[in-house]
Structure 1
Amino acid sequence: MREGVTVAGHRLTGRTRAGEAGVWTDAVSPGGRPSGVLRFDPAAAARARERLVATVADDLRLQRGGAAGLLPVVDLVAARDEVWLITGRAMPALDELLRRNGGHLDAGSVAAVLLETAQTLASVHAAGLTHGAFGAGTVVVTEDGAALLAERGLVAALRGEHVPPERDVTAWVTLARQLAAGQMNGPEADLLHRAITAATVHGLAAARDTLLAGREGLPPGFMTRDRLARASRDFLGPVPGPVPVSGPGSAPVSAAASVPVVPAAGEAVTLLDFPSDLPSDVPSDLPPGADDDVMMRFGPGVPTETPSRTTAAQIWRSGRTSAVTQARPPAAPPRRRRRTTAWAGTVLLAILVAAVILWLRQPPAVEVAVSGVDVKVAKKTVRCDGTADFVGVVTTNGGAGTIRYLWIRSDVRTRQEKEQRVSSGDTSVHLPLHWNVTGPGSFKGSATLRVLSPTTTGKPIQDTASFTYKC
């Protein structure tokens, strides 16, 4: 897209980068705040529009619930065949900072990024969601050094695939190894490697706790992210100025009316059904002191003939946190109101009775039961400072529930029981184990996946695989 055009009132500034789900462009909102616009591939978005709407709605629910660490979502809009996601400022991405700094960041910045992304991913997983495309290109760094996740769930929505949480954990470990590779030997490097091992064995919450426990050994400014914030500000440069708006006494003018429009875009409309309790960090598009009754420009800079008076349109354009108050119809006479109330009560009772009958007729939900376990290792021989990657494939009856299991390594006596939530219809569950081996020597290692419950036999089921380490 060209510099100066607008998308739903957000003026593009011309700076772009390729993301995992589309192309990002820096923009300025009608209120003069920095924003980001992600343009999806039209063909892919057309096939996945409903899934995109559901994914973005999940992010908005996370925002309303107080979840931190995600790039704030403002809106999802469409015009003709194109769909855009509008967010808070989406640059720079972590991979851009790495390229500018020769592929390396200081130990404190690396630890801050890994700590915050591990916490955010753990929170997303706790909400029953996943990211699906986590990496250096989907982590953005704000001007105060905070690491936020962008494009959560969008790639999976475009492809129509289900992404298990384990894929996010593996992606986090891959990024952590990449960032840790640039650190010299010392307490900082040792802490990063311990966090990687904790994530591999016990999950992201354990990695977060490991980094927090070792923060005293990190350079000053780690918790305040001083160097990361400075790197982000140096990359971003000055914030684009706000678009001029009408002054006192002049006719109301849309903030986007004085800039060109996307010729083929048509009128942009929101795809989201905004609730009345929008997150407080969604920026308002109205300039300070603007009159609530001004004509709203509902689209990418294209004025309309009549004001947009629908609740959805005004919330979308104004960023208000409550619905627009509309005039109430005159009250019905008392006798008519009593008849209406009685009729409504009868209908409600009939609906409740029908719902109870339908619920009683439904068959009971099938509980998950494990019928088999198959463990495989990617490489039978692991060389110096390598990793043995095991995967346990658990076969179930397709029911829903929680599987209790544990991995038993031949070199570790302590064992930690884990749980895996399984959805109805899933007949195969993958449980990974990554075994890091360092130092000279040779030995044979084995790992056993033991499913404790629930099983079809009522007894634990297990399988074992082995590898040979040579260095």
Structure 2
Amino acid sequence: MSTPPTQPTTPAPASVAGRALSDWSRDGRFGTWYALGPADSAEPPLGALRIHRALLAPSGARERLTAAVRAVAKLRLPGVPATVDLLREAGDVWLIVARPPARTVSDLLATGAPGLDEGSAASVLNETAQTLLALHAAGLAHGSLTPGQVVLAPDGTALLAEASLATALGGADASTASLQEADIAAWAALARTLGAAWAAPGTPAADLFARCSDTAGSDGLAAARTTLTSARATLPRDFLRRTALRAAAADALTELTEPAPPRTTEPAAVTAADSPAPVAPDEQRTVLGKRHRSEPATPLTPAPGGDEDEIVLRFGPGVPPSEEEALRALWAAPAPATAPVRRRRRRRAGLLGATAALAAVAVVLWLLLRPTAGPAVTAVRVTAPPQQLACGGTAEVTGVVTTDGRAGPFTYRWLRSDGQRSGVLTRTARRGEHEVALRLRWTVRGPGRFHGTARLQVLRPDTTPLEASAAFTYACAG
């Protein structure tokens, strides 16, 4: 791909869309990023990308940019900063997002931060892979992934800035297929870089990141992410807290919210080549049609008031809470304790009593912990609402698993057509329960039309999963 041109020397304005620009800025692949003051001073700053004017000069570039921004915004992915607006003002096109790209993984690699370790690397790699897979499933690509595009959210999760802009502004060689291949290669390089920087050489974690990189190149990104998530035992026990990444994100926010000195601008000459079209100095045009602030994504959480296995699948990044809690429970589980044996006066009787007690405990533990085959699953069916969902509607999807009536656990997962997955879940059937209901609530927000398909897979050892699916439609005029 060609190197993007530099931004003309036209100074940045003091404000955009009526909000003040801070003195902080950062060069991006497609323009310059600024921090933009929010409407409420209690809120964090927004991010404002001033698109390079030369990139918008080719015929159709603006239309492609608008289409790319809209396509990503409609997905409402948790791993992409939420789109607030796309507007033209005084000859410049600005992309406004929910947060500035600070702090980035590139910053952390350059300057370091206390506590960054293999757990930090695993979090970043898992979340970026999840976002890229969702983009690819929707027929999109990031296209220009580098450590400088990986931004930390306040909770330490990794977000991808400038997603899909390469599709619109990357030049004639920016086909979606080639950009998706570039995404996979970039992720593999990121795995190598973070493994070398944040994992001690020769450790199992360092080997894991190298294997993830190799797997991405040979078998694809989904296989690489599976390699990563299946080896959590090699990572620090508390890595899910993202302590070091949270601290780095908090430092960046403090930096951005410090009061800036008053800004003055000098009028500058702008040539016809610099400006795509004559624009009055105070003209402001919103490319998306209206300004909106996207609601923050809701994490994956159990449905309030529902069955214990009911899952609300929305847009939470990272490891689902159900998996996280199970992992922590496994780590925190104490070793089974044996009942104390009363001391006896006669040593022989004491030894016999202790032996009997230990034997009894062993039998009880074997009965409790022995593996159970669980019920045999014979059929799966899924139903979704037949009526069309309206704005902000929630699809109540129900799966019914038919069994042979034996008691025991079985595992399953939900897969959504937008690329989101529940992870592997477990449900225990009661004896005589021949039909087990599993529920999925899928909430959709925002204007537009959407066709969603939910697929339920019941996983069976040593054989193919049983599965079924159902679809629903959503329409919202805005």
TM-score by length of 1: 0.52
Is 2:106 the partner of 1:87?
Answer: no
Matched residues in 2 for 1:46 and 1:79: separation?
16
Please tell me whether the aligned partners of residues 2 and 12 of structure 1 are also in contact (alpha carbons under 8 angstroms).
Answer: no
Deviations 1:317-341 (A, max 9, x none): xxxx99xxxxxxxxxxxxxxxxxxx
Determine the structure 1 residue equivalent to 2:240.
223
Deviations 1:30-64 (A, max 9, x none): 2333101101111222432111111111111111x
Matched residues in 2 for 1:19 and 1:104: separation?
27
The one-letter code sitting in structure 2 at the alignment partner of 1:85 is L
Determine the structure 2 residue equivalent to 1:135.
146
Determine the structure 1 residue equivalent to 2:169.
158
- Provide closer, same or farther for how the CA distance between residues 44 and 3 of structure 1 changes in structure 2, counting only shifts above 3 A: closer
Deviations 1:11-46 (A, max 9, x none): 211111111111111121223331011011112224
2:158 to 147, 161, 186: 147
Deviations 1:59-109 (A, max 9, x none): 11111xxx2211111101102421110011121221112111189942111
Determine the structure 1 residue equivalent to 2:33.
24
The 5-angstrom pairing of residues 229-240 of structure 1 reads 229-237=246-254, 240=257
Is 2:220 the partner of 1:203?
Answer: yes
SS of residue matched to 1:114 = helix
Is 2:74 the partner of 1:61?
Answer: yes
Please tell me whether the aligned partners of residues 16 and 89 of structure 2 are also in contact (alpha carbons under 8 angstroms).
Answer: no
Please tell me whether the aligned partners of residues 31 and 242 of structure 1 are also in contact (alpha carbons under 8 angstroms).
Answer: no
Query: How far apart are residue 140 of structure 1 and its match?
Result: 0.6
Matched residues in 2 for 1:268 and 1:79: separation?
4
Please tell me whether the aligned partners of residues 83 and 98 of structure 2 are also in contact (alpha carbons under 8 angstroms).
Answer: yes
Please tell me whether the aligned partners of residues 82 and 265 of structure 1 are also in contact (alpha carbons under 8 angstroms).
Answer: no
The 5-angstrom pairing of residues 212-291 of structure 1 reads 212-237=229-254, 240=257, 265-273=281-289, 279-281=294-296
Determine the structure 1 residue equivalent to 2:196.
181
Matched residues in 2 for 1:79 and 1:275: separation?
14
RMSD over aligned CA atoms reads 3.1
Please tell me whether the aligned partners of residues 38 and 85 of structure 1 are also in contact (alpha carbons under 8 angstroms).
Answer: yes
SS of residue matched to 1:17 = strand
- Provide closer, same or farther for how the CA distance between residues 226 and 103 of structure 1 changes in structure 2, counting only shifts above 3 A: closer
Matched residues in 2 for 1:127 and 1:262: separation?
44
Deviations 1:368-418 (A, max 9, x none): xxxxxxxxxxxxxxxxxxxxxxxxxxxxxxxxxxxxxxxxxxxxxxxxxxx
Please tell me whether the aligned partners of residues 23 and 39 of structure 1 are also in contact (alpha carbons under 8 angstroms).
Answer: yes
Matched residues in 2 for 1:139 and 1:188: separation?
21
SS of residue matched to 1:86 = strand
Query: How far apart are residue 232 of structure 1 and its match?
Result: 2.1
The one-letter code sitting in structure 2 at the alignment partner of 1:227 is A
Determine the structure 2 residue equivalent to 1:7.
16
Please tell me whether the aligned partners of residues 72 and 164 of structure 2 are also in contact (alpha carbons under 8 angstroms).
Answer: no
Of the structure 1 ranges 202-211 and 127-136, higher mean CA displacement relative to structure 2 is found in 202-211
Matched residues in 2 for 1:211 and 1:125: separation?
19
Matched residues in 2 for 1:135 and 1:180: separation?
15
Determine the structure 1 residue equivalent to 2:137.
126
2:112 to 87, 92, 101: 101
Matched residues in 2 for 1:128 and 1:187: separation?
35
Query: How far apart are residue 186 of structure 1 and its match?
Result: 0.7
Q: Which runs of 4+ in 1 moved over 4 A?
A: 1-4, 102-105, 258-265
Matched residues in 2 for 1:239 and 1:21: separation?
21
Query: How far apart are residue 189 of structure 1 and its match?
Result: 0.7
Please tell me whether the aligned partners of residues 138 and 151 of structure 1 are also in contact (alpha carbons under 8 angstroms).
Answer: yes
The 5-angstrom pairing of residues 299-448 of structure 1 reads none
SS of residue matched to 1:230 = helix
Matched residues in 1 for 2:36 and 2:115: separation?
28
Matched residues in 1 for 2:265 and 2:284: separation?
11
